[in-house]
Amino acid sequence: MKNIIQYKHRKVLVLGLARSGVSAASLLHKLGAFVTVNDQQPFSENPEAQGLLEQGIKVICGSHPVELLDEGFELVVKNPGIPYENPMIKKAQDLMIPIITEVELAYQISDAPIIGITGTNGKTTTTTIIHHMLNEMSPNKSLLAGNIGFPGSEVAEKATTDQYIAMELSSFQLMGIRTFCPKIAVITNIYEAHLDYHKTRDEYVKAKWRIQENQTKNEFLVVNWDQDELRNMTKRTKAKVIPFSPTQKLAEGAYVKDGNIMFYDEVIGNRDDILLPGEHNLENILASIAVAKICDVSNEQIMHILETFKGVEHRTQFVKELNGRKFYNDSKATNILATQSALSGFNKPVVLLAGGLDRGTQFDELKPFFKNVKTLIVFGETAEKIGRVGKEAGVDVHRVHDVTAAVPLAYQLSNPGDIILLSPACASWDQYRTFEVRGRAFMDAIEELPDEVEK
Is 361 labeled as ligand-binding? no
CA angle 291, 292, 294 (to 5 degrees): 65
Is 122 labeled as ligand-binding? yes
DSSP string for residues in 18-56: HHHHHHHHHHHHHTT-EEEEEESS-GGG-HHHHHHHHTT
Is 120 labeled as ligand-binding? yes
Residue 249: count other Cβ atoms within 10 Å of its Cβ: 10
Alpha helices in 72-200 (DSSP H): 87-94, 102-109, 123-137, 152-158, 171-174, 195-198
Is 216 labeled as ligand-binding? no
Structural Rg of the chain based on CA atoms: 23
The three-state secondary structure class of 279 is helix
Question: Considering Cα of 21, then 23, then 29, then 33, what sign does the dihedral take?
Answer: negative
Is 308 labeled as ligand-binding? no
Give every CB contact of residue 368 below 8 A, 6+ residues apart in sequence: none
* Cα–Cα distance for residue pair 103/151, rounded to 1 Å: 8
Mark residue 430 as left, alpha or beta (left: phi above 0; alpha: psi -120 to 50; beta: remaining): alpha
Binding residues: 119-125
Binding residues for ATP: 119-125
